[in-house]
Structure 1
Amino acid sequence: MTDEGYRTTAVAALADRDYERAGDEFTRDGWATLAEPRPELSPFAVDDNGWVGRGLAALSAAVAAYRVAGLDTRATNRAVEGVAVARDLATDTSHAVQSACFSEFVADFKTLGGLAGAGDAYEAAADEYGDAAENIDSPQAWGTTPLFEAAAATLKQVARGQDNGEIAVTWEDLHGADPAQPGAFLAHRAAFKRQRFPTLVEQAVADGFLAAPRGTTEYDNANHECPNCGSRDVNWVADTTLCLRCSTPTEKR
């Protein structure tokens, strides 16, 4: 099975509320993506786009799923793995701004896994963004690369489950107000996460619910209806058609 196949089965498991299986499949997706980020790319040399970040995003989603499943030991183990891989990858990039993003991932894994030192890790990432500022021409361009988008993916996934499936974390939430100050612009990512991510994770665990990632959406779809909540708002993601609101597989009308 390809890494995309693992992601598909992970999302299907989320829809079935089988969070242990979702964690397992996200883990397989992460390992597969880390082994081959793209057919033409080595996993040991971070390219300018940072495609390898998608592997880290999958591992972080696995940690979230295990936490919601009540499998704290496995969540901790996966988070420790994620921290180690992110730190290792930080040594393989020549871009200080990418290294700072990998440090942001370290803090995310600590937060998701309930590991000590998450707050300090976010502060360290923010400091790294500040130190990298003089070599950042366009923070917006970096912020839209696969690496930076991957570093926001699990935060957005966890948050949308507590906001009726909507986009609960926006670009403006994550980034500073002035791109002319690139260090502060990107460091805001770490500051926002430090403030919000732990609470979001705790609430997801308390609710026992992890939403599917948001894909292509449509409101008031004429052909689909959720058998759980009756919504006709649809989320197409990873070859599945889910309710935008509660991540339940929809039924044809």
Structure 2
Amino acid sequence: MATQLWSDAVGALADRAYEPAGDAYTRAAWERLAVPRPGQSPFDADEKGWVGEGIRFLVLAGVSYRVAGLPERATHRAVEGAAVARDLQHALADPVQQACLDEFVADFHTVGSLDGAAAAYDDAETAYADAAGSVESVQAVATTPLFEAAAAPLQQVARGLADGEIAVGWDDLHGPDPSDPARFLGHRAAFKRQRFPSLLARAVDAGTLAAHRGTTEYDNANFRCPNCRSTDVNWATEHTLCLRCSTPMRER
């Protein structure tokens, strides 16, 4: 469910206002961390891991600050986010959820340019291997809000470098054999270790961060992008954006 603060962050991305986007993502994170779902505490055991949405927004806040040319703010947010992810391991006690939180910790090391990012991904991969025996269905686990939230920042960064298309998909993130939970889930950490730093560096060099991919339509008859003239639409939160460059679309 999109909140106003999340929508504010997306609107700032569309305006290429990356520091305000980072601020809005931070506020959205605090809001979602306080109440992951109506009536739910972030410290409640939760097999879905709804609190992951708040952690996702902290990652995206750090990415936004990096793209804005504010690496110190990105580092501050990363230190905060890593601490939050570690603390939430006391609430999400399922071993595979704890491994996913380790994956988030590694992402924060990457986004904040903290020492030991590669080692943190190694730790997450090991944690997935250790948790494999507790997993009944890797597909069910990998489609929970916690795991989808952990995948989303990398996917958002990547699509901005790929003309708005899906540049990191399910098969990229996961191993080829669902019957092998350790390798299937551990591949998430291995893939990020290999790709996230370089993709983030490219986004920083380009000075751009795309909005997330929401509901899309190609060759829409009602909208055209005033920037690149595309008619491919991305509806993200309450915004109608160009699928290609995240510019607000104009009706035609």
Following the alignment from structure 2 to structure 1, what is the Cα–Cα distance between the partners of residues 45 and 80? 18
Following the alignment from structure 2 to structure 1, what is the Cα–Cα distance between the partners of residues 239 and 119? 38
Q: Work out whether residues 231 and 242 of structure 2, in 8 Å CA contact, stay in contact via their aligned partners in 1.
A: yes
Mapping for residues 110-189 of structure 1, pairs under 5 Å: 110-189=109-188
CA positional deviation for 1:94:
2.2
Give the structure 2 partner of residue 67 of structure 1.
66
- Look up the equivalent residue of 1:137 and give its one-letter code: E
- Look up the equivalent residue of 1:32 and give its one-letter code: E
Following the alignment from structure 2 to structure 1, what is the Cα–Cα distance between the partners of residues 118 and 73? 22
RMSD: 1.0
Give the structure 2 partner of residue 201 of structure 1.
200
CA positional deviation for 1:163:
0.2
Paired residue secondary structure (2:27):
helix
Following the alignment from structure 2 to structure 1, what is the Cα–Cα distance between the partners of residues 58 and 2? 12
CA positional deviation for 1:3:
7.1
Paired residue secondary structure (1:85):
helix
Give the structure 2 partner of residue 31 of structure 1.
30
Following the alignment from structure 1 to structure 2, what is the Cα–Cα distance between the partners of residues 47 and 36? 13
Following the alignment from structure 1 to structure 2, what is the Cα–Cα distance between the partners of residues 66 and 93? 29
Q: Work out whether residues 160 and 210 of structure 2, in 8 Å CA contact, stay in contact via their aligned partners in 1.
A: yes
Following the alignment from structure 2 to structure 1, what is the Cα–Cα distance between the partners of residues 236 and 92? 31
CA positional deviation for 1:113:
1.1
Following the alignment from structure 2 to structure 1, what is the Cα–Cα distance between the partners of residues 226 and 114? 38
Give the structure 1 partner of residue 16 of structure 2.
17
Following the alignment from structure 1 to structure 2, what is the Cα–Cα distance between the partners of residues 198 and 232? 32
Q: Work out whether residues 19 and 66 of structure 1, in 8 Å CA contact, stay in contact via their aligned partners in 2.
A: yes
Following the alignment from structure 1 to structure 2, what is the Cα–Cα distance between the partners of residues 109 and 45? 23
CA positional deviation for 1:45:
1.9
Give the structure 1 partner of residue 245 of structure 2.
246
- Look up the equivalent residue of 1:122 and give its one-letter code: Y
Q: How many residues align?
A: 252
Following the alignment from structure 1 to structure 2, what is the Cα–Cα distance between the partners of residues 177 and 156? 19
The share of aligned pairs that are identical, in percent, is: 61
TM-score (norm 1): 0.98
Following the alignment from structure 1 to structure 2, what is the Cα–Cα distance between the partners of residues 131 and 213? 32
CA positional deviation for 1:44:
1.0
Gap regions ≥5 residues in structure 1: none
Give the structure 1 partner of residue 92 of structure 2.
93
Paired residue secondary structure (2:3):
helix
Q: Work out whether residues 233 and 244 of structure 1, in 8 Å CA contact, stay in contact via their aligned partners in 2.
A: yes
Runs (4+) of structure 1 exceeding 4 A deviation are none
Gap regions ≥5 residues in structure 2: none
Which string of whole-angstrom CA distances, capped at 9 and with x for unpartnered residues, describes residues 56-110 of structure 1?
Answer: 0011010000000011111100000000000001122220000000000000011
